Structure 1
Amino acid sequence: MTNVECVSSVLFSCIYTLLKFQSDIRLHQPASDLDWNTMSSSGVTLYPAECENLINKLVQSFWATEQTYMEMYAVCTQDSTSALGFAEFFHLCALRNGTLGMKLLNYHTSRGGQMIGVEIRRSIGMPEKKDMSAEKLMLMAFDMEKMLLELMNEIHLMARSKNDMSTDQYIDSKLMKPQTQMLTIIQNHIRGLNESENLWTYDVLTMKPFVSKIYQMIGLGEMTPIFRSCSLQGNVCAATNSVVSNWNKESLEAFASSLLC
């Protein structure tokens, strides 16, 4: 046997003995002393069950909110309401929540999480037909988005308590700040609607230009057929720049980026 072979053999023997010694210590260590939430051969924090369950709940909440927004969209397209600007706004909100849900699900599965299949129902009760109005629907939208923010904050705190830095960073940077801006957008629309002369004026002169700008920012340049067919489309395009100049650019960009896969 050459000197190199001797050295290699001794080195291998030492490494094997050391690994076996560490393994024996681990096996005889009391289970209560092991931190299973932070153990990983790669040094990456494992996925705490508490965070996994809350992420599951948030994904389902996104999809429930998406479904509710689609019902609100349908209400605004009816002849009794006929608020096509609000209809398109709720349509965008539905797409936003569906997209956020899919993005979060991708993160969830990349961490090894399992999606729990449940029946998705709307997240908030719809008002009776006689009580349906654009203002009422906007208040519902605010309540839904606020509930989502509260759930995000719960996950944020849980992730920190479990030392799950990956989930903490994802929720903080990808969801919580844009969600706060979304609430501001809805709140501003509610205030503007209350201050306007009537629903038709606000729908045509504010909501439609706002929606048009969001579509432009995500690169589509056009709305759904029911919106495009509106005879007031020319006025909408002309008013877009003057209306959106009053809105916070960061909020608009946050809304638009949430719609992109």
Structure 2
Amino acid sequence: MNYPLKCAFKINEAVHMFWSGELTYLGLYGLCEQSSLSLTGLAEFWRLSALRLRCNASRMINYHNTRGAQLQDETCIQPLVEIPTNITLENVWQLFDIALIIELQIDRHLKSVCEIAKIHNDPETEDYIAACFLHRQTRTIKYIKNHLTSLRSMEDPHLYDRLVMRPLVSQMCEHIAVKKTALVEEAGILNVHGISASELLRKILPIGRKTVSEYQGAQPDGVSE
């Protein structure tokens, strides 16, 4: 099926938007790592959010290539949202405001890709974006809103970081590690090297963190999958 030029252009824009969002999340990661905040769970959450957008960009590029197009990457990548410099523990919730802006911008663009694809009779692109991105994007926006509301209502950001963000990040790392392990095991690599999936999982996961189950009662609704 023909790949309309306007669809290819919108896909190209989406890739750059993912990259810009990744850069913004890495900026938020750096802020939370500073000694003035020292929110290690939240910092890791932003790092994983950056990784998510990088993976989304890679998936989009792969689709772009399968349709016979090449990525145009001549533009200089800038943060999608300006990264603030005046964040303190009292207003750290504003970082979730920034995250919400990022995800809403991406959501609007993905929906515009679907609209353009529909106008130009490209059901393959429309179905791909809807199936692989839009549902997850809606869920991500919901999670960000939940965090924003919960953090604003909590007086101690370090408590929120310890009771919510750290176990959430641990759960996210477990999910990533399990998926990686399954892929490696499926390829038959583990048996060759004499290592089990569970052993590899322990090597990948962070050491010294409490299990997610110890904190599940402290997580706000909608935070965990």
TM class, shorter-length: 0.7 to 0.9
* CA distance in 1 between partners of 2:145 and 2:137 (Å): 12
Partner of 1:129, secondary structure, is: coil
1:217 aligns with 2:192: no
Of 130, 146, 152, which residue of structure 1 is paired with 2:110?
152
Report Cα offsets for 1:205-261 as digits up to 9, x if no partner: 111111111111222667999x757xxx34x64533334594376xx2xxxxxxxxx
Which residue in the other structure is 1:69 paired with? 25
**Measured at CA, do residues 222 and 82 of structure 1 come closer, stay the same or move farther in structure 2, by a change above 3 Å?**
farther
**Greater Rg over alpha carbons, structure:** 1
**Measured at CA, do residues 224 and 80 of structure 1 come closer, stay the same or move farther in structure 2, by a change above 3 Å?**
farther
Which residue in the other structure is 1:199 paired with? 157
Alignment-mate amino acid for residue 239 of structure 1: E
1:83 aligns with 2:58: no
Aligned ranges 1:169-180 → 2 under 5 Å: 169-180=127-138
Contact 2:41 2:166 in 1 (8 A): yes
Contact 2:93 2:151 in 1 (8 A): yes
**Measured at CA, do residues 121 and 203 of structure 1 come closer, stay the same or move farther in structure 2, by a change above 3 Å?**
same
Percentage of pairs with the same residue? 28
Alignment-mate amino acid for residue 27 of structure 2: E
* CA distance in 2 between partners of 1:190 and 1:223 (Å): 33
Contact 1:67 1:94 in 2 (8 A): yes
Number of aligned residue pairs: 201
- 5+ unaligned residues in a row in structure 1: which ranges? 1-44, 253-261
Which residue in the other structure is 1:241 paired with? 216
Contact 1:193 1:199 in 2 (8 A): yes
**Measured at CA, do residues 49 and 115 of structure 1 come closer, stay the same or move farther in structure 2, by a change above 3 Å?**
same
TM-score by length of 2: 0.81
Report Cα offsets for 1:21-63 as digits up to 9, x if no partner: xxxxxxxxxxxxxxxxxxxxxxxx2100110000000000001
- 5+ unaligned residues in a row in structure 2: which ranges? 179-200
1:55 aligns with 2:30: no
TM-score by length of 1: 0.71
* CA distance in 2 between partners of 1:127 and 1:228 (Å): 32
Alpha-carbon RMSD across the aligned residues, in angstroms, is: 2.4
Which residue in the other structure is 1:27 paired with? none
* CA distance in 1 between partners of 2:161 and 2:7 (Å): 41
Alignment-mate amino acid for residue 79 of structure 2: R
Partner of 1:97, secondary structure, is: helix
Displacement, 1:134?
2.5
Alignment-mate amino acid for residue 55 of structure 1: I
Alignment-mate amino acid for residue 84 of structure 2: P
Which residue in the other structure is 1:126 paired with? 83
Contact 2:28 2:46 in 1 (8 A): yes
Partner of 2:215, secondary structure, is: helix
Partner of 2:107, secondary structure, is: helix
* CA distance in 1 between partners of 2:52 and 2:36 (Å): 26
